[in-house]
Amino acid sequence: MAGEDRAEGFEKSGDLDFPRPLTTVDVVIFSIRGDQLQVLLVRRPAGEDEPFPQALALPGGFVDVVKDRDLAACAARKLKEKTGVTAPYLEQLGSWGSASRDPRGWSATHAYFALIPEEAGALTPDARWFPIQGGRLKEKLAFDHSDILASAIQRLRNKVEYTSLPAYLMPAEFTLPDLQRVYEIVLDRPLEKSAFRTRILSADMIEPVAKMRRGPNRPAQLYRLKKNSKPVYFVRTFNPPE
Amino acid sequence: MAGEDRAEGFEKSGDLDFPRPLTTVDVVIFSIRGDQLQVLLVRRPAGEDEPFPQALALPGGFVDVVKDRDLAACAARKLKEKTGVTAPYLEQLGSWGSASRDPRGWSATHAYFALIPEEAGALTPDARWFPIQGGRLKEKLAFDHSDILASAIQRLRNKVEYTSLPAYLMPAEFTLPDLQRVYEIVLDRPLEKSAFRTRILSADMIEPVAKMRRGPNRPAQLYRLKKNSKPVYFVRTFNPPE
DNA sequence: CGAATAGTGTCTCTGAGACATTATAGC
DNA sequence: GCTATAATGTCTCAGAGACACTATTCG
């Protein structure tokens, strides 16, 4: 059955009649809400034969070989279904597959992570936002979703050190102090204003709009993301403390 | 058949009787041979009903739900089978899945990439090394393996700018000029000797052995990787030209 | 000695960190 | 004027780039 031939790499692939792992896609969806980094989670159904009934989980599910042309389309579909949003930023995170992660049998999930602005979309009723505090989620998740989420948080933090990713968490128009605040929320440490501004402005990723944000103090210049702006990679990280 | 319920994320998962994609693992194995970056490829079988008969491909194959505990173990097994080597460096690269990449049906592959030293292992007869020239392979590959390889090359080059990954391509003992040469081969551009040495030596990743490499000129200090040394991440990239 | 490569030193430049200073709004 | 926040400027420091210079072997 699960013999050598197959494992050696297609040598007898004319015969495709052997057990296949389950194939799923899960999406880690981040947003900034109320000055916190938050992640979108759904509650699993309650059925008798359900794995992890009622547990919290990442939005996701089985690949649909009819509806989904490829993995990215599948992830985009799940994102759209849960949030109404179409791909501001969607990146593949990695895959997790083993005999034990799903009680129903050998399964492999393709994990993606998405960044969306606070204003975006209309949630489905089964989905809720949960804050990431101290770089972690308090709640336990179904399957190995806690591992996947931890990996997503680490990847996000890492990349925020040397990329413009937080721009995708911003509303259409924002000020430089707004953007710096989002960097600081994700990294959970303060950044130097002066160095921050130099870095962002020299990256040619945002452009000023002819408006200012007014408040009880000096107004701030409003900016927007430049058209078709891909993420920018800086040649240095922010120097992590110590 | 491929209806909404399933796609919505396990909601009816009691019913697992629907088409599953094929699940494979492929490994991009790099080594330095004869002053070139090379990749290990196998030739596909010639059978009538084989996809891409006789074409070159990355080593890999179906996940074996009996033999393979998880994806990484599956990748390590394939690496071992083809090269006799056990994991000097093995990292997940990403996954590729679509309806069209394999003529036998919807399939998803989990791609890994491995770095091994030149001396290592005994190849199986169906595997051969092919040089990467100008950052690309001349040969066309089966499936979407050309895309996967291109992605692996890009990831490798990227990481070499700010990590110690090339250390895993080195023999047990090597000199600093040797190591610099490997960096230069992968990046395909010369590096400054002085800056290179400062960076590597301050990274605390290698240690001198009490030997010198002798030649027709001044001998060079031999080094080895420190025990259990994980890859080092530098806070700056080498400044790319222009 | 010369050739060749190993290894070090010097000078400049860029960008981050720290922190002071100036600017502009509301009250 | 006072307060609060936006925006800029100054000084220092680390590390890269460029390149000169010294060191050590063989022949």
From A2, A14, A240, residue closest to B67, measured CB to CB: A2
Place of tokens 């030997």: B211
Q: In what order do the strands lie in the sheet with B206-213?
A: B174-175, B220-225, B206-213
Q: Looking at the C1' of nucleotide D8, which residue has the nearest alpha carbon?
A: A194
CB atoms within 10 A of CB A214: 9
Touching check for B46 and chain A: CB below 8 Å? Answer: no
Percentage of residues in chain B with pLDDT exceeding 70?
Answer: 92
For residue A135, pLDDT over 80 is answered with: yes
Computed over every residue of chain B, the mean pLDDT equals 90
pLDDT tier for residue A7 given thresholds of 50, 70 and 90: very low
Percentage of residues in chain B with pLDDT exceeding 90?
Answer: 77
As a rounded value in angstroms, the CA-to-C1' distance for A131 and C21 is: 38
For residue B119, pLDDT over 90 is answered with: no
For residue A87, pLDDT over 70 is answered with: no
As a rounded value in angstroms, the CA-to-C1' distance for A171 and C23 is: 27
What is the rounded CA–CA span in Å between residue A140 and residue A149? 11
For residue A3, pLDDT over 60 is answered with: no
If you ran DSSP here, which 8-state letter would residue B233 be given? B
Chains A and B: how many Cβ contacts under 8 Å?
Answer: 167
Average pLDDT of B108-121?
A: 91
Touching check for B5 and chain A: CB below 8 Å? Answer: no
Q: What is the pLDDT of residue A123?
A: 82
Output the six-digit token pair for A173.
């128009």
Name the residue in chain A with its Cα closest to that of B101.
A70
Which residue ranges form the domains of chain A, and what is each CATH number? 19-159 (3.90.79.10), 166-225 (1.10.10.10)
Average pLDDT of B10-37?
A: 83
pLDDT tier for residue B48 given thresholds of 50, 70 and 90: confident
Q: What is the pLDDT of residue A18?
A: 85
The string of DSSP codes covering A174-207 is: EEHHHHHHHHHHHHTS---HHHHHHHHHTTT-EE
As a rounded value in angstroms, the CA-to-C1' distance for A211 and D4 is: 20
Residues of B in contact with A236 (CB under 8 A): 235-237
Average pLDDT of A176-204?
A: 95
pLDDT tier for residue A10 given thresholds of 50, 70 and 90: very low
The string of DSSP codes covering B81-113 is: HHHS---SEEEEEEEEEESSSSTTSSEEEEEEE
